[in-house]
Every structure is written in C-alpha cells, then in structure tokens.
Structure 1
Amino acid sequence: MKRLAALAAAVCAAASIATALPATAVAAEPITWGPCTDPTLVAAGGECGYLTVPLDYDHPSGKKIQLAVGRIRHKVPDAQYQGVMLTNPGGPGGSGLYLAARGGKLPNHAGDAYDWIGFDPRGVGTSKPALSCDPTYADYNRPNYLPLTPQLEQTWLQRSRNYAQDCAKNNDPDLLQHMKTVDTVRDMDSIRAALGAQQVNFYGYSYGTYLGQVYGTLFPHRVRRMVLDSTVDPRNVFYQANLNQDLGFDRNLGIWFGWVAKYDSVYHLGTTAEAVQRVFDEQLAKITAQPAGGVIGPDEWLDVFLQAGYYQLRWPTLGDAFAKFVNQGDWQTMKSLFEAFGGYGDDNGYAVYLAVQCTDVQWPTNWNKWRADNWRTFTQAPYFTWLNAWYNAPCVYWPAKAGKPVNVDGRGVDSVLMIDETLDAATPYEGSLEVRKRFPGAVLIGEPGGTSHAITPRGNACVDDKIADYLLTGALPARKPGNRADVTCDPLPQPVPTGT
C-alpha cells in the first residue's frame, strides 16, 4: 500500500523550521536536455535529462547524486506562459518521469501554459543511484501473511530483518540516511533553481501531497499554485496511517463484493455481497491449503484484490479474474494480474518506500506493540491488516537513523486546490480535512461516496473543470466555514462490466 507513526509534536514553529534550512537550494547545475526513452514522454514530445544534487544538503560539496527529470514544454505563446508545474505520483517510491505528460489530459488546454516537469525522486527508477535490496523478496511461495502460529510470525520477522540487512549491505549507507521527505523537498527546490524559476506550481498525488505540504511549509514563498489529490494526514505519518488504511481497504473490498453481486448475470458469484464474500473466503481457504497452479496462494490473492480498494476502474478486471478463477479454474489470469499490479519484482519501489517511511519518523521498535495493534485492527479488517503489517515490518530493523517529521504549517501558502473521494482507503478523507485546516488558502473538493485514490484528471467534468479553471486563472471556489469540503462533486459512476 501507499502506506502512510503518529506525528511527533514539533517543538518548532514552521517559520523556525524554515530558517533552519537554506532559504533557497544550493547553486544548481543546469540540466542538459536530450531525448527521452519513456514511451509516454516520447509520444508527447518530451525531453529528458539529469540534475546533479548533493546527497546531503548540509554538506553540499560532498557526495552527489543524479535525479532523472522529464519535461513537456508549454504550448502557448511565451506571453501566456504560467511557469513550471512540478509533479509527483506518490509512493513513496513511485517513478514520476511520465507525469510530465499529465498536463495534456486536462480539459480546455489548461495544462498548455506550463512546463510540466516529472522526475524520479532520489533513489527511484532511473535516478542514480537507484535503491535495491532483494529483488526476489516479493516472489511467489511466501509465507501466509496471517501469522496464526508463532512459527509463521517468526518466519516473517526473520524475513523482515533480512530485508533490512540486505538494504544496508547493497546500498550506500549515506544514501539510506538521506532518503527522508525533507531531502526530496530540497531536491524539488533544486529542480526549481535549475530551471531558473522564482516559483513553482505543484501537482501531487497521494504521498506526493505530503511532499507538497512539506515544501509549502519550508519554502512557502516558492509556491505559486498547488493541486493536492488524495491528501496524506500529517498527524499520522506513518505508523498509525497504515493501521488506518487497513480499515479503509477492507471496507472498500466489501463495497466491491456488493458491486460483483449486482452483476451476478455476468460473474455468477452470488446475488448479495454476503454471498460473494463467502465464495471469496472459500477460494482463499482453498489456496491457503494448496496454491493454485503452485503459485497463487493467499498472499498473491490478497495482493491482487487490494486493488479493489484503490481504483473502481479496476473493478471489472478483478471481477473477470475472480469469476474465471472460480468458474473455470483459470489461475493464469490471476498470476498475470499479480505481476502487472507491481506486487512482484518491484524491489526498487519497495526499497524506496521503506527508506523514506522508516526514516521520516521513528517507528516502534518493540514488536509487542506491532503485534497488539495489528491484531486489534484485524478484528475490524481481517483481509489486509497483516498484509500491510508485514509490508512495513522492515522498519523495525531499518539500518538508517530516523528523524522527526516537519510540523506542517501552510499559513504561508496563498493558494491550494485539494481533491479527495470520501471513501479513499489509502489516504483517508480525514487527512484532507486536517490539511485544509493547516492551509488557510486551501479549498477542498469532496466526492462523497467515492472509493478511488489519486486519479485526477479522469473524465469527471465537475472535478476536472475546476482543476482546469484553477490552473488557467488561479481562481478558487469560495472557502466555506467549518470542517468540511468547500465544493462537492459526485464521483464517477461505478463501472459497468462488459457483457451486461
């Protein structure tokens, strides 16, 4: 999961934090632009290059690393140019180069007035060096996530310890020590400086919204406009946030069961959510005893169906795979989905995810606390609690020293547009309300009943047109009093499967 350890109460006000950091980035080398290899950027006519930045900004003349950067130039006359639009897809650990092409998806050519900048954050993708710990860690035949015996629990703890040790062994320890959110935020300001921009616009998704919050706290005078889609709750980074996610993902799986039941004429898995859930549980029990095809066991099964909690647009794909598995014995489709959805072989993304989350804040190092908290959460979220616990468990043993999170304070940022669906599992809606409080210049678009995460623009005119208007003119809807959304839009309709 794009998992989000209770926010330590910061002893410094935002202004004092900002003064503890450089007001601007260190002198940045120019980016030498050339052709891209990413297919999305090639198709969009993008250009790519590398930016050299300090590994440790407190020692700018020391080790250097390189950030992979992509750009799609503005398409309007220079007189109508509105500046740099920096983007981030979240994770942490997500490659962001391709997001340079996102501007073309906005209605009314609203993205044409900007230079759209995507980048692979430090340690990610084609940035140099890229983190990797154990590329086989998420391979098939893993132990059951559900630790019903002491032996299973100890097996997973040993796996988690080994992964953390492999990260220490296979990567520069100085890089592991400087993978925090604040390091990437300083990189963002280095990109701004390298592009010669006095201010940047920013479009962040999921964990990318946390980068935006911290950037707006540390460099508020550098923010022109900001769009935050599916906002991280800064109070919960990152241990508690993951426990909160578990509840949302199990809830959304239940909503998906109801959707499958609605289309029983297509899937033939039951006419009620309860009936579909019984079939789901029966199959889970069978593959726990004997993995289908020797590869699809309970871990792979849950990894695939986690997607039902993320994106409604994947509901038909999951319904089709579920029906084929049950009605035709087709486990190969499930295997393909497991590999396609990134649970398999994505060691770089996972390594960066841990390197950031485990060091942004100190996670509990007493496993007894993890055990108690996760079993308590399990009573309400039995499907995904232990999946998520083991995903994060290397933080118990992480080899780099943790810091303290920035006290997010957006009072210096004039203009933010936020979007969130109210049943978002990965970044619960309460986080958007909290960030709206901290950013008095923010306006929130809420989508009541929506369960999808970080997908704008996606053809919802009510939402997309407001984003486009904001980027074109800077105009925000009126902010309303109280702890609520300022504007509401219906989410996109639930998908209809082919064959109805």
Structure 2
Amino acid sequence: MSPSRIRTALAAAALLPALLVACGGGSKDGNLLAQKLDWKDCPAPSQAQGGGNPPSPLPGGGTWQCATMEAPLDWSNPKGDTIGIALIRARANGDPGKRIGSLIFNFGGPGGSGVTSLPAFAGDYAKLRTRYDLVSFDPRGVGRSDPVKCKSDAQLDEYFQQDATPDDSAERAQLVNRTKQFNAACEKNSRRTLPHVRTTDAARDMDLMRQVLGDSKLHYFGISYGTELGGVYAHLFPKNVGRAVFDGVVDPTKNPEQSALGQAKGFQLALDNFADDCTSKVEECPIGDTAQNVKDRIAKLLKDLDKKPIPGSFPRQLTQTDATNGIAQSLYSKDFWEYLTAGLEEAYDGDGRILMLLSDSMNGRNQNGEYSNIVPANIAINCADDKPRYTVDDIKQKVPEFRAASPLFGDFLAWGMLSCTNWAVPGAADHPDVSAPGSAPILVVGNTGDPATPYEGARRMVDALGKGVGVELTYKGQGHGAYDSKDKCIQSAVNSYLLDGKVPTAGTVCS
C-alpha cells in the first residue's frame, strides 16, 4: 500500500467511532457504541456452530452467558445495515477489586466458532478467569454471526470425497469444475455476507466489542489464525492493545502459496515425529518396524485408496482424500497420535471408520451427518483476504516443490490452492499487515513441532510487529499451539503476563 493510501486508511479508521455514534444500525438509541448487550443463558449450539447441547455449568457454579452485538455489515458504510456478532462469556470469579477486564479469545480457523470453543476449552484457562471475564465470539460469517452457507449436508458429503490430488487432465478438470460449483453455491446462498468477512472487518468488530464491553484496552488471546487476527487488530488499533498473547503463530509475511508450502513441511515434520515416537517405544509399534517403514506403509495405503476406497462410515467409503485429511487432523495434537495408530491399523485391515471420523472432525461433520459451517467460512474468509488466484498450470509447476517438502501432504496442499477459483469477491492483499508501532508488548509463542503454523512464523511475526512490540517465547514440543500442552513453563509465563503484566525475557525457551 502506498504512503498516501496508508494515510487515507488511518484517517478513515480514526473517523469510524464518530460515524458509529451518528449511525442508526438497529440498536435502540441508534448508537452502536452505546448498545447494551442482553446477556442470557446460552442456547444449544446451532448447526452452523456444530450442534450439540448447551454449555455445561461453570466449575464452582455459574452459567455461561450469550448475547448478540450489532456491528456495521460494511465498515466503510457504518450508517448502513448491521450484522449480529454472537458472543459468549464467563464472568470473572476472583476478587472483584482485582478484575482487569475482559479477555477476548479467538481459537482460529478461520471459521471456528468461539461461542462453542470457549466452553470446550475453558478448563485450560480457569486461572485467567480469576481476573478476567472470559469472552469469545463467532466472527462474521461463522456460526451464529450470519454464517456463510454453500451446499447441503448431502452435497458436502460428496464434495469432501472428491479426488483432491488429481493425477491426470481429466481429474484436474473435474476438481476445477467441482470447486467452481461449490464457490458458485456460496455466492448464491451468501451473497450479502461474502464481501464483508475479511480479517480487517473482524478486527474492527473486536474494537467495537472492546468498547461495548466497557474496556479501555483490548486484552486478547489469539490461537492459530487468531494470531493473524490479533496482528491485524494491533496494526489498525495499536494504542488500544492491552495484554495480548499469540499462540500457534501464523507467519504474516507469507502469501497463500508460501503458507501452503510451509504447512507441507510442518505436517511432514509432525508425521516424522509421530513415526519416530511409535517405533522408539519399548513395545512393538503396530504400524511399522522402523520410522521409514511407517511412512512407506502410509504412502502405500493412500496410493491404494486412490484406486479403490475401503468401507468407512456407512454408507460412505474412505477415499484417499478422506484418509489424508484424517491423518492431518490427528497430527494437530500429540494426544491424537494413539487414534492415528489405531486408525491406520484398522485401515490396513480394510476398515476405514477411525480415519473417516478424524476426517469428519476436520470438516466439521457430526455423527448425525450434519456439518457446521467451518469449511465454508474458512474458504470465504481466506478468499476475501488473499489476493492471489492460482490456476491449474500454476499448481502443476509447483507440485514437485511441494512433493519434495512432503511426499505425503505435498500434492494435497498444493492442489488445495485452487479453492478460490472463480470466487465472487476479490482478495484484499498478498499477506496481512501486522506492523504495530506504539502497541503494548505482545507475547508471541512458537512451538518447534507445530504442523499447522510452523515455528519459523513466530519469529517473523515478532519482526513484523515491529521493534519493542513482539516478545518471543519458544516451546520445544509437539502439536498445534503451546499453552494447551499443559507445559508448566509456558503456562507460567503466559499467566504471569496476562494476570500480573510481567513480560518474560525475549527469547525464553521452555522444553
């Protein structure tokens, strides 16, 4: 962006609060900044949020509360239509005199429902609740916040079983055609929402949220894509940043191709670690004699499934795509490795149910055959954010590099770059701008074994935030993110910063 455009954008950002005061978006007094949230007991999650039961009572008593915040649908036209942003909170349970404010969470995706994720993981953040109201939300286009809708559940079953790693021109043409059909369905069913789900829109929603919640600063915990959202927020509103933590850090300097290649390397590293772990134990590894044998057998399984799927969750068959997706899901956490081992054992015997359940989890499908909208929302947000559009010829040229980075995941991630083909909304930029001069310190936590957001991204986020802003903390471990690993060193450092404002020494390493 040129200097003149930057100045124009910053001037517009400065004017937004004043414009909001004057706009009548549906709140009772026509002032979105003055709106009062109507907190009530939370209902059962909607299908777009993943379905299920209302959140369980909080430990020690108390209930989760939900509300809807109104925000401008189009932040460039704050006097226009509004969009409802679904919120959830757990009130602080410590000494009221020591309450700091609200701690807002985004758990990633993009496309994940914070309204359902926060109760699921709240036990991990119980200590933080002593001084904060724990708050999360469904970003626009997600869950109950005007969810992006594309295809029906039955159509999604078919869509997710397509061959995602085409081997010839006919399979490539079929993949392109199905991608175009999916994207056309998104445009048909969500035309109102698609232009307004960029990360910059969600960041502006968070600043409105901060003010409506009564906080002078935004205290924030971002995980995975939530680190990108937090970085964009810090860029737009550096003076409003309070205590913030980024965990499982997205590399903000990479374009979609570079990010996909980085993920190929990251998932390959996680697979290598999984294979080493299985074969290094005292008991016999049931899926291979050596680490290389484990990986060779997985590669053969995927090659065989490309030719002939095996029974999965009736009536669906486990395809090569399902199996690859399920393996990737199991590498997000070391806690899932036992399920990957069991799933591979069964698949070698012709039973694909466990790997299919893992794949369904990644795609947001429950056992009733209903899908959340995590995948449509993920595609919509990424395609609205990312300017590049890749062709079949582009990807054919890149496949060898991806395959060298990961024999198992390279093709899968390379061909995934077709997802924005014929998308209805142009992408905003090659990569996000997270430079945040003047911001308070932001704790940036990188995990050396992270498959989804490789460790190198943490250092690049620190550099991109700018001098004196990013503070790097390293976890030598496995899985996506670090705080939820239960590592005492990591949790102590993060808790000390969020609760007491103690910034750890830059470069601290926990192992």
TM-score normalised by L of structure 2: 0.86
Q: Alpha carbons of 1:431 and 1:46: their partners in 2 closer, same or farther (altered >3 Å)?
A: same
In structure 2, distance between residues paired with 1:371 and 1:424: 27
2:176 corresponds in structure 1 to 157
Q: Alpha-carbon deviation of 1:258?
A: 2.0
Q: Distance in 2 between matches of 1:104 and 1:265?
A: 33
Residue aligning to 1:57: 75
2:98 to 72, 80, 85: 80
Tell me the secondary structure at the aligned position of residue 323 of structure 2: helix
Question: Is the Cα–Cα contact under 8 Å of residues 245 and 427 in structure 1 kept in the other structure?
Answer: yes
- State the partner residue of 1:322: 344
Contact map agreement 2:247 2:481 (CA 8 A) in 1: yes
Does the 8 Å CA contact 2:330/2:339 hold for their aligned counterparts? Answer: no
Q: State the alpha-carbon separation in 2 of the partners of residues 70 and 347 from structure 1.
A: 18
Q: Which moved more, 1:234-243 or 1:329-338?
A: 329-338
Matched, 1:452 2:479: yes
- Please name the residue that 1:19 is paired with: 11
Conserved in 2, the CA contact under 8 Å of 1:111 and 1:468? Answer: no
Segment drifting more, 50-59 vs 439-448: 439-448
CA distance in 1, matches of 2:5, 2:487: 39
Matched residue of 1:137: which SS?
Answer: helix
- Aligned equivalents of 1:399, 1:208: Cα separation in 2: 24
1:244 paired with 2:271, answer no
Q: Which residue of 1 is the match for residue 223 of structure 2?
A: 205
Q: Distance in 1 between matches of 2:211 and 2:469?
A: 25
- Corresponding position of 2:29: none
**Aligned residues with identical type, % of pairs:** 26
Q: Note if 1:130 corresponds to 2:151.
A: no
Aligned twin of 1:35: 41
Kindly report which structure 2 residues correspond to 1:87-486, keeping only aligned pairs within 5 A, or say none. Answer: 87-101=105-119, 102=121, 104-106=123-125, 109-127=127-145, 129-135=146-152, 136-139=155-158, 142-171=161-190, 173-263=191-281, 265=283, 267-293=285-311, 295-326=317-348, 328-342=349-363, 344=365, 346=371, 348-404=373-429, 406-437=432-463, 438-439=465-466, 440-448=468-476, 450-479=477-506, 486=507
Aligned residue pair count: 471
The one-letter code matched in structure 1 to 2:495 is A
Q: String of CA shifts for 1:392-418, please: whole Å, max 9, x gaps.
A: 413121111222355321222122112
Specify the code of the residue in structure 2 equivalent to 1:313. Answer: D
1:6 alignment partner in structure 2: none
**How big is the shift at 1:61?**
2.0
Alpha-carbon shift at residue 221 of structure 1 (Å): 1.6
Contact 1:262 1:271 in 2 (8 A): no
- Residue 137 of structure 1, CA deviation: 3.2
3-state SS of paired residue (1:68): strand
How much does 1:263 deviate?
4.2
Contact 1:17–1:218 (CA under 8 A) maintained in structure 2: no
- How far off its partner does 1:379 sit? 3.0
Question: For residues 101 and 5 of structure 2, what CA distance do their matches in structure 1 show?
Answer: 30
Give the 3 Å change call, closer, same or farther, for CA 357–338 of structure 1 in structure 2.
closer
- Counterparts of 1:10 and 1:430 in 2: how far apart (Å)? 28
Paired residue for 2:508? Answer: 487
| Structure 1 residue 442: Cα displacement | 2.5
How far apart, in 1, do the equivalents of 2:364 and 2:64 lie? 29
Kept in 2: contact 1:23–1:219 (CA 8 A): no
What does the per-residue CA deviation read over 1:71-111, in whole Å, with 9 as the maximum and x for residues that have no partner?
A: 1111123211101111101111011114544565247x333
Q: Distance in 2 between matches of 1:174 and 1:302?
A: 34
Q: Secondary structure of 2:484's match?
A: coil
Provide the aligned C-alpha RMSD in A. 2.4
How far apart are residue 14 of structure 1 and its match? 6.8
What is the one-letter code of the residue matched to 1:417?
L
Q: Please state how far the C-alpha of 1:251 moved relative to its aligned partner.
A: 2.5
Shift of residue 299 of structure 1? 0.8
Judged with a 3 Å threshold, the aligned counterparts in structure 2 of structure 1 residues 458 and 13 are, in CA distance, closer, same or farther, namely farther
- TM value normalised by structure 1: 0.88
Q: Which amino acid aligns with 1:443?
A: V
- Tell me by how many angstroms 1:23 deviates: 5.7
Distance 1:453 1:268 in 2: 25
Distance 2:342 2:122 in 1: 32
Q: CA deviation at 1:52?
A: 1.3
Tell me how far 1:429 sits from its aligned partner: 1.7
Structure 1 stretches lacking a partner, 5+ long = 1-8, 480-485, 491-500
- Judged with a 3 Å threshold, the aligned counterparts in structure 2 of structure 1 residues 301 and 10 are, in CA distance, closer, same or farther, namely farther
The 3 A distance-change label for structure 1 pair 83 and 62 is same
**Equivalent residues of 1:143, 1:152 under 8 A apart:** no
Contact 1:422 1:446 in 2 (8 A): yes
Task: For CA contacts below 8 A with separation 6 or more, give which structure has more relative contact order.
Answer: 1
Instruction: Determine helix, strand or coil for the equivalent of 2:485.
Output: coil
Contact 1:138 1:343 in 2 (8 A): no
Q: Aligned equivalents of 1:10 and 1:425: distance in 2?
A: 35
Query: What code does the residue aligned with 1:296 have?
Result: L
- Going from structure 1 to structure 2, the CA distance change for 1:14 and 1:224 (only over 3 Å counts) comes to farther
What CA distance in whole angstroms lies between the structure 2 residues aligned with 1:271 and 1:206? 34
Deviation at 1:329, TM superposition (A): 3.7
Cα contact 2:106–2:222 (8 A) shared by 1: yes
CA contact (8 A) 2:402 2:414 kept: no
Output one character per residue of 1:364-394: Cα deviation in whole Å (capped at 9) or x when no partner: 3443223212343123323223322444413
Deviations 1:38-60 (A, max 9, x none): 55744222100111111101111
Matched-pair contact (CA < 8 Å) for 1:261–1:272: yes
